[in-house]
Structure 1
């Protein structure tokens, strides 16, 4: 709505945009809206490790084997304060975050001391699965 009002405002001035420029702007805005609409964060936790994909920005899953994870837990976080918002984030020296909405996530501390937070809408389910693998031991014996 704001974009439409802005385009109409610019077209009423003597230095109006050409039709091609307006169409190009609308196409760019539509593509951004489509990307936001189809974006989804997929997480798989199994006996091999954790896989995460932020579609359509990641075509393939990012793989984090258990042996590469030093510490892991489900936690509540502040998306704006800690990571500057939602999406693929890596600002403010707090590590990287993949999140779409909400304030719950799976926090990983990797063996190379890098931090990664993967947002989740199913924190209890994620915690149950992580507890299952913790209680049954990781292949490397890492403690959570």
Structure 2
């Protein structure tokens, strides 16, 4: 999992399977971000996600709840069709803010275009990158 701090939020890039064995990586990678002050959104880039089971869903729900308690947003970007179907079947597509790509997720938000104070949809360069 890669973690990148961006001018408009933090992007976690998920790859492979989000399941019982890998969800601990999600928790470890997000623990540092949850400890930071601020209101920037967190985007889970799901473009490389091949599979998500109930443990993965639980991990995303816990992250959503913890971010909500900090008045921060969790946004999902580029969710593959198989995972999107799982979210639709469980009703999580109504809970999670789902966007077609990372740029839209960073710029749009659940409150509509410009909700993050972004005047346009251009993506700013990444500030820093680290791997978890």
Give the TM-score normalised by structure 2: 0.23
Q: Which has the higher contact order (CA 8 A, sep 6+)?
A: 2
